[in-house]
Structure 1
Amino acid sequence: MEQTSAAVRDLTDSEQNEAVLTLASRLLTDGTATDGNGPAVAAEAAAAARSRARLAAAATPVHLTVVFAMYGETGRMVPRSEHPHGEDFVRAKVRQLDWLTAGLPGVTWNILACDDGCPDEPSSADVMAGIIAAEGYDDVAVIRLADLIGGKFPISPAFDALTSTNQSRKGGSILAALATAVRDGAPEGVRHVVLYTDADLSSNLAQVGSLAAPILDGAAGALGQRYGMDGAVLVKPDGPSVEPHSTGDKPDKLIVLFRHFVRATLIPDLARVLDTQAGFKAFDAEALAPVLGEMSSFNETFDVELLIHLAQRYGAGALAVEPIVFTEDFAATNFPSVDPGARHLAMVQQVVDLYDSYVAAVAPATGEAAEVLGFVRGLDLDAYVRLIEALRAEDAGDPTLFDRRWTVANLRSLVG
């Protein structure tokens, strides 16, 4: 087997993936904190150990349902010996959940994946079904979005109006899987926590206990945060990073911070949620159920719309934020450029669209927030690019991250 540098967290390395759980077990039994596999494995193991300890301390019967969407995942689903990007993620996720819940009375789990119209032959659903059959997994299943749209599986008016998987853009599959999980339910008298994650191994499922714990304590949801708060670890290609470096050293830092500034200003219920797009979020199934019928976004705005509905129904304080260890998985994934461009401006405009659709009628922007709204509405691509470049030019030596705020007068002067 190809050897991996101890400084690098390689999600295709099955021995390294297992080393995380082995070290986590040792942390829980004798406090051993390192094993020679490097700081990234150590950080992930510490998060897994903390998660299991929190789930055990809750001492509450709970059923955990993990869902994820799949599109073009046939390579990552198999071992590295069969594909250069292979993570064998179905078997790895099962192993992580088995480790997390082993010996905890009343704690059970299942996995539900939804094929988002994968074009591969065989499709992601076909490959996963083969793995399920080969391994004899009773608690793992896969569904196909194509079998549910067009009113066949009513969820929300917008979902029921879908006629093609091409209209889903991942959000539709996550919504279908969440709704299926909620309807399938949990054993009688057992709390049901439903979590969605990414198909790959970026977020180790052994961390699920850290999201379940606040829900078992009364939260409607718990949101994993990859950066922006104490305890969060972002594992980059050269190793683990924490703040102020996780965000502060990013070449697109000002793009991220400006977008958060707009979101926090226009959607104040989510101001505490610094990492809205992290694919590691858990919810109380009973609290989640009525919100699913309100969903209409199936693209990049899916996460934020879901959080808006939850905050409006249960209060912003019902959403807990929890630090996680997250490994950036660059293999077989497309990322936008770090230079300001149309795609980044579109993300800012999506925040305005969410405000218009779900916030304006119940909490309209006033004062400075209204001025920010007017400024952002007037940004074209050229002005946006000039703004980010000007913010970068004046950024030297400023340690402020997600607390950073700008006046509209300042922003207008930078645009020119």
Structure 2
Amino acid sequence: MLFTLSDMIVDFGAKPTASEISVKTLLSLSKKARHLNQPETLGGSAESLESYYNMIRQFAAIAQKFRHLIPADFDSDAILTLSNYLLNLEIKDFKKIANNLPSLLDGSILNEKSNVYAEADIDPSWGSAVDALSTALPEKIDLTEYHQDELIATAATELTISFPSLNALCSLDRWLTSHPGNFKNSLLLASKIAVSKMIMNKLSKPLHVSLVIAMYNEHNRIRPKSIGNPNGEDFLRRKMKQLTWLFDQSPVSFEMILVDDGCPNHTGPIAEKIVQSEGFSNARVLYIEDGIKRRSPVLKGLYSSEESRKGGSIHYGMWRAIKDIPLMDHPHIVVYTDADMAAFVNQIGLLLMLQDEQTMVSVGSRYDIGSVCRGPWGRDGKVSGLTNFDRRMVGLRGVMFSKLFPQTGKITDTQCGFKAFNAEVLREILIKAEERTFSFDIELMVLAAATGKLIAHAPIYWHDSLAESNFWKNRN
């Protein structure tokens, strides 16, 4: 029998949502989608399709590797059957599943964001307040223009003054992000930053934050924009300034740890010169090669930086963050983010707000209600949201992740480069981590869930930085 009885609900038109189906049903529907003969509506490049294909198969490999960590109250046999199916799936069949699966569900995989507020619930003062702020904000965000940071931070400060209650400010943010097409991107970002700032200002107890950034082929983005360097983002100076602004007038101390992942273009030495010239006493540059030579326990199995794919540098930076600083009598949170300016780090308060004694991992989300994701570039330089292809693939990736790793909770955006871990849980899991590819954070979340700690997600503003090199260029 090709399909199980669980498929019968589809035949009678009662199509379930992706979140409702069981692991067994997802497997059955995937098999059915693989054999459907429907017009292709997926789109996307062959390179992008292969990237998502490899990523989901990597998820399946991690599920097999950590089969012993599947909690007893989940169907481990079904999870392992699904993972084995994905590992043996050819890319042509994966493409059919991505193209046809939505038709077997409720028509979509990644749900469209819906309006949060009915018109009757909208505060009449919101419109006039944001209109006044918008006039001073740039029409579009240019990640190479550092002066925009100050304009956006000023608008965020004014929002905290106009809406001194955290509840009121969060309500405003939900309203804005419910209608993102109606407002400037710079205003949407200012709103997120304002909430983050107010969260930090309301802290009453000390907290230490370590920000870890891995660098590979970032020799252009680390420098300011110029005629000879049109894609420069000056990210080191700008991230330091954003963190200083965020934690000012709060009991939070912070450091920045930049890790050179074996960059052939000397990003590490460039970073060292900037740190020295700017007098950044709370920033330091590490080299993964040094960690390998010193046989750092968190880099076991690595014999060259060529074997690292970002994951090794993040592991090493996090390890040094928790080992170089003595145990504290107050919380220590380690955050990692990408080197570019896609996620403004003065949103870190959105991650920290979610953490407590039980929730020790918080991840930024670009795709949940309340988030704003801008990219890729559209016609005439306009910035749009997700393409239809990306929406399909991100949704499929999230569904597969949720069924392979149900113990991690509801994580829509598995790959967002903006995650925070309490040092307490890192001390338990980091030494066990072995994955250094793009899936290193999946392994960290699975290991964290195995400790009994919870994982939460925070909707953020994300603005793709597409013009320069990244970790995968020249390394595949």
* Common fold by TM > 0.5: yes
| Contact residue 216 and residue 267 of structure 2 kept, 8 A | yes
Q: TM-score, normalised by structure 1?
A: 0.71
Alpha-carbon offset, residue 61 of structure 1: 0.7
Secondary structure of the equivalent of 2:321?
Answer: helix
Deviation (angstroms), 1:56 = 2.4
Q: How does 1:180-219 map to 2 (within 5 A)?
A: 180-185=320-325, 188-216=328-356, 218-219=358-359
Q: Distance in 2 between matches of 1:234 and 1:293?
A: 33
SS across alignment from 2:149: helix
State, as a whole percentage, how many aligned pairs show the same letter. Answer: 32
Q: Determine the structure 2 residue equivalent to 1:347.
A: none
Q: Would the aligned equivalents of 2:362 and 2:458 in 1 still touch at CA under 8 Å?
A: yes
Alignment of 1:324 with 2:463, yes or no, is no
User: Where do 1:51-130 residues align within 5 Å?
Assistant: 51-81=196-226, 83-104=229-250, 106-120=251-265, 123-130=266-273
Alpha-carbon shift at residue 11 of structure 1 (Å): 0.6
Asked if residue 171 in structure 1 is aligned to residue 293 in structure 2, the reply is: no
**Alignment deviations for residues 256-301 of structure 1 (CA, whole Å, 9 cap, x no partner):** 3223222222221235111110000001111111100110100011
* 3-state SS of paired residue (2:432): coil
Which of 374, 379, 394 is the aligned partner of 1:235?
Answer: 374
Aligned partners of 1:76 and 1:87 also within 8 Å = yes
The equivalent residue for 1:43 is 188
CA separation in 1, counterparts of 2:325 and 2:391?
A: 41
Find the counterpart in structure 2 of residue 372 from structure 1.
Answer: none
Query: Corresponding residue for 1:302?
Result: 440
SS at match of 1:220: strand
Please report how far the alpha carbon of residue 154 of structure 1 lies from its aligned counterpart in structure 2 after TM superposition.
1.6
**252 and 84 in structure 1: CA distance in 2 versus 1, 3 angstrom threshold:** same
Query: What are the Cα deviations for residues 52-93 of structure 1, in whole angstroms up to 9, with x where unaligned?
Result: 111222322101110010001010011102511101111100
Residues 292-349 of structure 1: per-residue CA shift (max 9 Å, x gap): 011010001101111000011124xx1111111111111114699xxxxxxxxxxxxx
What is the one-letter code of the residue matched to 2:151?
Answer: A
Q: How does 1:352-391 map to 2 (within 5 A)?
A: none
Partner of 1:342: none
Match of 1:21 in 2: 153
Checking the alignment, whether the CA contact within 8 Å between 1:58 and 1:213 is kept in structure 2 is no
| Residue identity in the other structure for 1:30 | S
Q: Quick check: which has more Rg, 1 or 2? A: 2
Cα distance in 2 for residues equivalent to 1:314 and 1:217: 11
Match of 2:396 in 1: 258
1:402 match: none
State the distance in 2 between where 1:13 and 1:7 align. 13
* CA deviation after TM superposition for structure 1 residue 111, in Å: 0.2
Pick from 222, 242, 259: which aligns with 2:362?
A: 222
Letter in 2 for 1:266: L
Separation in 2, partners of 1:151, 1:130: 24
Q: Is contact 1:233-1:240 (8 Å) kept?
A: no
**Residue matched to 1:383:** none
The CA deviation at 1:219 is 1.5
In structure 1, runs of 5+ residues without a counterpart are 337-416
* CA RMSD after TM alignment: 2.4
The letter for the 2-side match of 1:128 is: A
Report the Cα distance in structure 2 between the residues aligned to 1:151 and 1:14, rounded to whole angstroms. 38
Counterpart of 1:153 in structure 2 is 296
**Structure 2 contact 352–362 (Cα < 8 Å) conserved:** yes
Instruction: Find the aligned partners of 2:344 and 2:245 in 1 and give their Cα distance.
Output: 11
